[in-house]
Amino acid sequence: MQQKRQRFPVHPAQVLPLLALLWVLSACGGPAFDRAYVAAGQGQAESDLRPSSQFSTTDDLNVVIKLNRHGGNLPVAARFLDPNGEEVQTVRAEVPEGVETVVLGIDADLRPDPAEQWVRGRYTVEVEVNGEVVERLFFRVD
């Protein structure tokens, strides 16, 4: 004996407002952070850099932060820690709406004493988005 399935009629006018609400929430409700990576090179654009986890003692230290769509005025930061866990520098930016890639870094030539080289060892970068640490990256200076 075959059972009859009950169907509940749904009118399109009942579904459209729900779909519109889901679309709005998906556009602005997701996390702003996508991913981050450490990069070598000189420049402020992602195209000037290449992903790397190995640096020399005189290189610039960069982090590329990739973001999802967000509402703008989004605070991001990269906190660089030396091999002893001491803060080297925190670089901050406020990201306007529509910007999905941010490069934060420390220019080796702009250190208080440019002749002083980076300490050799394993560094940590804490990536913050909207005041929360969203990722920890690691790289070596040799």
Instruction: Give the model confidence (pLDDT) of 72-112 as tens digits.
Output: 999 999 999 999 999 999 999 999 999 999 999 999 888 76
As averages over each run of 10 residues, the pLDDT of the chain (142 residues) reads 58 60 48 96 92 95 96 96 96 96 92 80 98 97 95
pTM of the model: 0.77
Partnered with residue 62 across adjacent β-strands are 39, 105
Q: How far apart are CA 33 and CA 128, in angstroms?
A: 9
For the chain, the domains span 31-141
Between β-strands 121-129 and 132-141, what pairing exists: parallel, antiparallel or unpaired? antiparallel
Q: What's the one-letter identity of residue 121?
A: G
pLDDT of residue 134: 97
Strand, helix or coil at 115? coil
Domain 31-141 has CATH 1.10.3720.10: no
DSSP assignment of 73-106: -EEEEEEEE-TTS-EEEEEEEEEPTT--EEEEEE
Q: Which two tokens stand for residue 42?
A: 């000189």
pLDDT of residue 109: 83
* Whether 62 contacts 48, CB under 8 Å: no
Q: Which two tokens stand for residue 110?
A: 């702009």
